[in-house]
Structure 1
Amino acid sequence: MARTWIALAAALAATTLAPPAPLAAAPVEAGQLSESLKTQLDAQYDRIIADLIRITETPAPPFKEEKRAALFAQMLRDAGLTDVTIDEEGNVLALRPGRTDAPALVVSAHLDTVFPEGTPIKVTREGDRLLAPGIGDDSLGLASIVAWVRVLEANRIVTRQPVLFVGTVGEEGAGDLRGVRHLFTKGAWKDRIGAFLSVDNADAARVVHAAVGSRRYRLGFKGPGGHSYGAFGIVNPMAAMAEAVRGIYAIKVPAEPKTTYAASVVSGGTSVNAIPDLVTLEVDMRSPDPAALRQLEADLMAAVEAGVAAENAARSVRSGAISVEPQLIGDRPAGTTPPDHPLVRDALAASKAAGFAARLDESSTDANIPMSLGIPALTIGTGAGGGRTHSIEEYLETERQRFVAGVSVGLAIILAQTGAEAR
């Protein structure tokens, strides 16, 4: 049975001359936060909202996260952390030492957004709703981390192992998880991470324990090209691409595990009166099952080769034949943290204790990388919900009681995972 925080409450109430003594580690019970910590989070509500707005309005377009990284690093310093750096990939790293040198718990949110440079970003309010591109994905995760650090520092809470707070670059789209990939494969902490908690989305009931892997290709269909009238009858890469797409959409994929594909972006051609010499097609394939993903990739490439062969057989190759050059532009590995792992159990318990209908889910997030390496990892939500993610109409719900309850979930998981008291 975990102790209550009576001693902490008394210390805070009785003295202003000395800070409270450090709190020793103790077991967690059912994901519960003490009433004292809940009250402290609630007292931060206006400050969290202000942080959220400031972060959101600091641009972080793909591959240009520097301004937001600098801001997040300074906010962590202002919250009380002293060992705050930005690594060679652009990730913000903020270390909070533990009692031991055990492998660290990483608590992470991503800095980047999907919105290109120059997108107007100004937070507006409609009642309890805040609206702005990227406000929930993932400005809210960053603001939540800063709030948790304030609580840990204000109460001098001692954790068993170090906690490394991270703001990653390159989580979205073409970033291909470059920040977290660097953290686990090249960074200074690559061999010293014991567990990973990503904070990404505004649904505090959602516990992502399965990583949806993806493979993405840019396929360049090349041909001789020529005048649309004078060279009529020669092979056309556009036709080869069209036949390839037809073949792709004839592929049968399993419903369980959910496995998907999409022909997403098409470009190329020179003029309306010219047979193109190059047409490109971008495709996306996803599955939480590595074997299913490998099979889908093989089937898709076979469909592409069949499309090329069909066009070379259908029209003249007197000026040259069609060829295809595949370029891998995205590779997110699949993986799973078992539902009975303590990290998953702690997350579900914390969400339920905060009043949410906790559920397991699967997605593609920064947690893909550690899951694929066999390191326990999850992605959780925070706050009170929202919607229209990845659109300029993105919004968050900020009704105070539910918002604070949502923010409390991540703090409860941190305390449970690091042996600090959390009743």
Structure 2
Amino acid sequence: MKPEELAPVLPQYCAVRDALANHETVKKALAAIRRDEQLTIADQIAITEIEAPPFHEEVRGTDLIRRFKELGLTDVTRDSEGNVIAIRKGTGNGPLLVLGAHQDTVFPAGTNVKVKNDNGILRAPGISDDARGLAVILQVLRTLQELKIDTVGDIAFVCTVGEEGNGDLRGSKHLFYKSGMKIDGFISVDGVDVGRLLCAATGSKRYRVHFDGPGGHSWKRFGTVSAVHAMGRAIAKIADVVPPQSARSTFTCGTVHGGTTVNSIAAHCEMELDMRSAGSEELVELEKIILPLIEQACEEENRRWGATGEDAVKLTLEPIGHRPGGHQSDDAPTLQCARAAMDACGITLTGYTAASTDHNIAISLGIPATTLGGGGTEGFNHNVKEWYDPKDSYLGTQLALLTSLMLVGMAGVTEPTLPKRA
């Protein structure tokens, strides 16, 4: 949906927003965030320079535990999956809100993560994704602590693992499926565009597709089926697929590996297949279209050379990822509060869309959730040339603070707008 097509923010959320934004302590908090932005950026740089490759976020997690404790929290733990969870208790029987960001990056161990300041532009792998998000939630906590702002509900500051790629949202899944926490709402700070608000979760299914055959010498065994040729037939078929049109749906064969030498008939190869859709039914439909085409490709390779039994190419589908998707009402409290807070911070809503990130799990379970931008601008995301421009970056932290206060309530000022789950 285009932002201009949205109905106005509901009056009850505007009233809460106004009560907070006009309160002297909140005014001081928002001003402090702007004043202390260099401290937030210093945290962002320091976090960036601690490697957090896929499935190896431990060192960064240990540093984050130290930071939360130094900010005065005592209930700070690391769960069995690697999530760092720091609880700031509220004053009453209020809701539990998660304010999170992810620890992991897409970059392998040994990547040079030293930050270079290039005339104010910060350059380093992971400087924005998601070191910025981690720095933002730390600054939200620091501001609450320094100004002694009491919330009604609890806030769990959560630094997840496994958000990227084949991490398959393992940290967020553990948080919602196994932790036992009764989470009432979820906000992730991921990406930097403060004008973009994520309202829905893009679902995805991922497979590692293995092709296996007898292999052999390209001259002596010519006429033997080839695993690579079977995979080529499959990719050609997939490339011609027209995805479902009722919801945005995409696919790609993202990686291919295999073969032995230039003069060998390949005995093994594999590819990684990614399928996504903004609709749950459409994702199922897309999978039903594509997977049979891979089987047909193997059948065609075998039929071309008359191969049967042990002489045939065999197919193995290995699931490597399933990110559930979902939608929520535009009246969801997370979305209403974020939009109202944007207005108070002078931020124009420019994007209202779906994506695949840590909020997927919450939305798929019917828990109000969204993802906010951390502020500033970025480029070459997921690339060693990644850069970050901190101009007006304080807006991301202001937005995260005000949205969170609206949801959990400020003691003596506002009640929570986030309902507790039964």
TM-score by length of 2: 0.90
Of 206, 221, 225 in structure 1, the residue corresponding to residue 211 of structure 2 is 221
Distance 1:31 1:61, change over 3 A: farther
Of 291, 306, 322 in structure 2, the residue corresponding to residue 316 of structure 1 is 306
Per-residue deviation, 1:322: 1.3
Q: Which residue of structure 1 aligns with residue 406 of structure 2?
A: 416
1:194 aligns to 2:184 (yes or no): yes
Of 319, 322, 325 in structure 2, the residue corresponding to residue 331 of structure 1 is 322
Per-residue deviation, 1:356: 2.0
Q: Percent identity?
A: 40
What are the within-5 Å matches in structure 2 for residues 168-207 of structure 1?
A: 168-189=160-181, 192-207=182-197
8 Å CA contact 1:80–1:149 kept in 2: the answer is: no
What are the within-5 Å matches in structure 2 for residues 9-408 of structure 1?
A: 27-29=16-18, 32=21, 34-189=26-181, 192-317=182-307, 320-358=311-349, 359-399=351-391, 402-408=392-398
Output the CA distance in 2 between the equivalents of 1:51 and 1:109.
Answer: 14
When structure 1 is superposed on structure 2, of 34-43 and 118-127 the one drifting more is 34-43
Output the CA distance in 2 between the equivalents of 1:30 and 1:410.
Answer: 17
Deviations 1:118-152, CA, capped at 9 Å, x for gaps: 00011111233211110110001111111111111
Q: What is the RMSD computed on CA atoms of the aligned residues?
A: 1.7
8 Å CA contact 2:75–2:86 kept in 1: the answer is: yes
- Aligned amino acid, residue 61 of structure 2: A
- Aligned amino acid, residue 224 of structure 2: I
Runs of 5+ unmatched residues, structure 2? 1-14, 415-422
Per-residue deviation, 1:31: 7.6
Deviations 1:343-381, CA, capped at 9 Å, x for gaps: 101111212322222131211100011111111111110
Per-residue deviation, 1:155: 2.1
8 Å CA contact 2:203–2:277 kept in 1: the answer is: yes
- Aligned amino acid, residue 369 of structure 2: A
TM-score by length of 1: 0.89
Q: Which residue of structure 2 aligns with residue 7 of structure 1?
A: none
Output the CA distance in 2 between the equivalents of 1:353 and 1:136.
Answer: 25
Deviations 1:206-244, CA, capped at 9 Å, x for gaps: 111111111111111111111211111122222211111
Deviations 1:5-48, CA, capped at 9 Å, x for gaps: xxxxxxxxxxxxxxxxxxxxx93328847431122112322211
| Local SS of the residue matching 2:311 | coil
| Local SS of the residue matching 1:336 | coil
| Local SS of the residue matching 2:220 | coil
- Aligned amino acid, residue 373 of structure 2: G
| Local SS of the residue matching 1:135 | coil
8 Å CA contact 2:95–2:408 kept in 1: the answer is: no
Runs (4 or more) in structure 1 with deviation over 4 Å come to none
Q: Which residue of structure 1 aligns with residue 10 of structure 2?
A: none
Output the CA distance in 2 between the equivalents of 1:27 and 1:207.
Answer: 20
When structure 1 is superposed on structure 2, of 338-347 and 134-143 the one drifting more is 338-347
Per-residue deviation, 1:267: 0.9
When structure 1 is superposed on structure 2, of 362-371 and 350-359 the one drifting more is 350-359
Output the CA distance in 1 between the equivalents of 2:80 and 2:137.
Answer: 22
Output the CA distance in 2 between the equivalents of 1:384 and 1:146.
Answer: 17
Number of residue equivalences? 393
Output the CA distance in 2 between the equivalents of 1:126 and 1:236.
Answer: 50
Runs of 5+ unmatched residues, structure 1? 1-25
Distance 1:355 1:320, change over 3 A: same
Output the CA distance in 2 between the equivalents of 1:35 and 1:102.
Answer: 23
